[in-house]
Amino acid sequence: MDRNTHQTGAQPNATLAAAGPAPALCPHLAPALDALLCQGARVLAAAPMAWSKIELEVVLDSGQPLAELPAHLLVNAVQTWTNTDAHYPLAQGLVCRACRHSLGWPLRSARAS
């Protein structure tokens, strides 16, 4: 289920995680993070999001389109999200409503594909 959201992009208080281990995402999103890291994505930031419905947001530098993600990564209450509001970074990703964690990466434009 795709929907617009304003909860994307690295926030000013984000902690950069490029040199450290992958952030501790919930067990529902961890397989997707592992798969995207194996495909060459890098963690740009992991930020607590106290002001939103999401407690932890992890931002990657790249990732495949949501439609191309393997189905097994979308189980266990994981939902997709897409942000196309130009006031925020254009992004897409996954959210776990049960654990309140989000994993996002840039939305590729049709020209960039």
> Based on the structure, what is the number of domains in the chain?
1
Residue 96 covered by a domain: yes
Find the domain containing 94 and state its range: 30-106
pLDDT at position 10 is 37
Residue 94 covered by a domain: yes
Neighbours of 49 (CB within 10 A): 17
Tens digit of pLDDT for each residue in 59-113? Answer: 999 999 999 999 888 887 689 999 999 998 899 999 998 999 999 999 986 444 4
Neighbours of 22 (CB within 10 A): 14
User: pTM higher than 0.85 for the full model?
Assistant: no
pLDDT at position 6 is 37
Tens digit of pLDDT for each residue in 21-56? Answer: 667 899 999 999 999 999 999 999 998 887 788 999
Residue 18 covered by a domain: no
Residue 79 covered by a domain: yes
